[in-house]
């Protein structure tokens, strides 16, 4: 679905790959004018078209040994699909208006919200390109199907938003997190969550974001029966973890062992998700 965090997943794939310090280049195929698609992907030489007053590298060259993220690949025009297939097969490109072939090494991660198999049947997407891209598939479920990710995403957005605003990173208390987990995020998934976190950062005058800073449309919508059940489960889990920590004198490894978790790191991950800190 739109806004489900596909680019965040792609960036993590890049970060965990063999060349994390190489460039990560993201292109939204749906946002590119058809006349500029090839130039954006493969670059162009000076004089290749009206307004091309200098040579320019495209995404494949800019990425080097890094990663190209092609979002909404299903919107790519058929002519550009053929040239993309050629680049993936031959591992080389030719700039628009150029004659020299340039070897490329970038890894391509593509994403779409469309049913590409249906588009292939309808001749809107090339079958050969579909199978060339369809090497390994990761489904990114909508946020409402993975509400346990909300605390980690909120923490990530708090750090990035506060850094962008040039302020000290704020914290969020567990009641505010519970309200965010009780919401279904059907409107725009992770993108909507990021916007809400930014609103809360602006609304909060101190270093802690509390339940009162959660926008009313989010807090009130979380009052449905199913959402309330989710919030109660989260609070019950938090209480179980807190009690175990108290019994073990906040010794992380011993608490992890009591709760049947794998190790110290797993316990810390659970604590971050539940907003627990000493």
Closest CA to 42 of 17, 24, 60, 18: 60
Residue 225: pLDDT band with limits 50, 70, 90: very low
Residues 223-243, mean pLDDT to the nearest whole number: 69
H and E: helices and strands count for the chain: 13, 7
Report the chain's mean pLDDT, rounded to a whole number. 89
Q: What is the pLDDT of residue 47?
A: 87
- Residue 102 buriedness (CB in 10 A; 0-12 / 13-18 / 19+): middle
Give yes or no for residue 223 having a pLDDT over 70. Answer: no
Give yes or no for residue 191 having a pLDDT over 80. Answer: yes
CA-based R_g, the chain, Å: 23
The Cα 259–Cα 245 span in angstroms is 10
Indicate the range of 23-32, 51-60, 195-204, 214-223 predicted with least confidence.
214-223
pTM above 0.75, yes or no: no
Residue 1: pLDDT band with limits 50, 70, 90: confident
Domains of the chain: 6-133 (3.40.50.300), 143-273 (1.10.8.60)
Left, alpha or beta for 275 (phi > 0: left; psi -120 to 50: alpha)?
Answer: left
Contact predicate 274/234, CB 8 Å: yes
The Cα 244–Cα 142 span in angstroms is 32
Q: What is the pLDDT of residue 221?
A: 67
CA distances in angstroms from 149 to 152, 178, 270, 274, listed in the order given: 5, 12, 11, 10
Give yes or no for residue 188 having a pLDDT over 90. Answer: no
């Amino acid at each position: 679905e739109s806004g489900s965090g596909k680019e965040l997943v792609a960036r993590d794939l890049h970060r965990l790959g063999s060349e994390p310090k190489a460039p990560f280049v993201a292109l939204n195929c749906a946002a590119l004018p058809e006349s500029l698609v090839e130039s954006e992907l493969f670059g162009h030489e000076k004089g290749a078209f009206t307004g091309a007053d200098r040579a320019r590298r495209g995404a494949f060259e800019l990425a080097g040994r890094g990663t190209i993220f092609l979002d909404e690949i299903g919107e790519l025009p058929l002519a550009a699909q053929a040239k993309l297939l050629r680049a993936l097969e031959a591992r080389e490109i030719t700039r628009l208006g150029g004659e020299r072939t340039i070897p490329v090494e970038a890894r391509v991660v593509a994403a779409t919200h469309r049913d590409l198999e249906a588009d292939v049947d309808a001749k809107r997407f090339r079958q050969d390109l579909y199978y060339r891209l369809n090497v390994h598939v990761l489904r990114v479920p909508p946020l409402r199907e993975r509400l346990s990710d909300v605390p980690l995403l909120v923490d990530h957005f708090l750090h990035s938003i506060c850094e962008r605003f040039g302020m000290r990173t704020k914290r969020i208390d567990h009641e505010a997190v519970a309200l965010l987990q009780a919401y279904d995020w059907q409107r725009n998934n992770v993108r909507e969550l990021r916007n809400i976190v930014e609103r809360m950062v602006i609304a909060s005058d101190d270093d802690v974001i509390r339940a009162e800073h959660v926008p009313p449309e989010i807090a009130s919508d979380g009052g449905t029966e199913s959402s309330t059940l989710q919030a109660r489960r989260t609070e019950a889990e938090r209480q179980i973890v807190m009690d175990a920590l108290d019994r073990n004198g906040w010794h992380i490894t011993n608490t992890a062992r009591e709760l049947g978790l794998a190790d110290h790191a797993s316990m810390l991950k659970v604590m971050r998700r539940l907003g627990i800190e000493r």
